């Protein structure tokens, strides 16, 4: 029987099924047969798209990070003041992770237990990809003379590191508190750092830096 779906659609259907089952049963209890059934395809078909159950799951994680990046870009492309954009991006990043963890609560420990080495191997890549979005905005602020930044990319890394301890990579390490509390802390750190980045002439205003003459990007 020829499927009515395109190759890409089938792939997405598999990942959607994975998302549902992972959140519901966790990695260990989710079987490849389950995925096939949930996606409404044969088991063998999954192996035409992915090399293994591991690969399916890792691709699913990749997709999540991809969506985070899209959200960050959406903010980065705004015409708000660069400082405000950065602040919003930092908060969005932390809250996105928070919500993800919330969504996969039960399954996260399970997932980490099974795929920790593979996930660690990818973490550096994720981190770098996210940092690039931040670097873009930092670079823009630098060129506009708003930011006192030497190397945009390494400053971006420092920025992400600074808020990283707030985002719960794993329930096992970080028991997550209230969403609002995490948001507040992120904002606090963001302000602390941003006040250092802002050039002196802008500095007086501490927290609520006013919107500056907009510069359109892209």
Partner DNA sequence: TTATGACTGAAAGGCGTTTTTAGTCATAGG
Partner DNA sequence: CCTATGACTAAAAACGCCTTTCAGTCATAA
Q: Under the rule (CB under 8 A), what is the footprint of a second copy?
A: 112, 116, 120, 148, 154-155, 157-159, 161-166, 169-170, 172-173, 175, 185, 188-189, 192-197, 200, 203, 206
Q: Under the criterion CB under 7 A, does residue 111 sit at the interface with DNA?
A: no
**In terms of residues, how long is the chain?**
218
Residue 50 beta carbon to DNA: minimum distance, rounded to whole angstroms? 8
Q: Which does 197 bind (CB under 5 to 8 A by kind): DNA, a second copy, none?
A: a second copy
Handedness of CA 135, 136, 139, 144 (dihedral sign): negative
Examine residue 45 and tell whether it contacts DNA (CB under 7 A).
yes
Contact 38, 20 (CB under 8 A): yes
DSSP state of 209: P
**3 state SS for 146-181:** CECCCCHHHHHHHHHHHHHCCCCCCCCCCCCCCHHH
Chain residues 8-37 in contact with DNA, contact rule CB under 7 A: 10, 28-33, 36
Tokens of 70: 């899209």
Instruction: Decide: 176 and 182 in contact? Cβ < 8 Å.
Output: yes
C-alpha to C-alpha distance for 199 and 145, rounded to whole angstroms: 8
Nearer to a second copy, 40 or 196 (CB): 196
DSSP letter at 80?
S
Q: What is the nearest approach in angstroms of a second copy to the Cβ of residue 18?
A: 23
Question: What's the min distance (Å) between Cβ of 37 and a second copy?
Answer: 33
In whole angstroms, how close is the CB of 62 to a second copy at the nearest point?
20
Site for DNA, rule CB under 7 A: 1-3, 7, 10, 28-33, 36, 41-45, 47-48, 52-54
């Amino acid at each position: 029987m020829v499927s009515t779906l395109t190759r890409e659609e089938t792939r997405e259907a598999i990942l959607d099924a994975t998302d549902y089952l992972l959140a519901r049963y966790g990695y260990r209890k989710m079987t490849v047969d389950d995925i096939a059934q949930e996606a409404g395809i044969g088991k063998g078909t999954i192996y035409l798209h992915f090399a293994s159950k591991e690969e399916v799951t890792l691709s699913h994680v990749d997709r999540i990070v991809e969506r985070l990046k899209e959200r960050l870009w959406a903010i980065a492309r705004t015409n708000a003041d660069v400082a405000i954009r950065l602040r919003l991006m930092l908060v969005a990043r932390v809250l996105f992770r928070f919500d993800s963890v919330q969504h996969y609560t039960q399954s996260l420990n399970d997932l980490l237990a099974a795929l920790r080495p593979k996930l660690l191997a990818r973490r550096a890549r994720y981190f770098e990809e996210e940092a690039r979005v931040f670097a873009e905005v930092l670079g823009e602020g630098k060129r506009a003379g708003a930011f006192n930044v030497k190397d945009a990319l390494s400053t971006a890394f420092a920025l992400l590191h600074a808020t990283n301890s707030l985002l719960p990579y794993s329930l096992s390490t970080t028991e997550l508190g209230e969403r609002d509390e995490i948001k507040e802390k992120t904002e606090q750190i963001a302000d602390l750092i941003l006040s250092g980045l802002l050039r002196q002439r802008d500095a007086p205003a501490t927290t609520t830096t006013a919107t500056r003459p907009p510069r359109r990007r892209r």
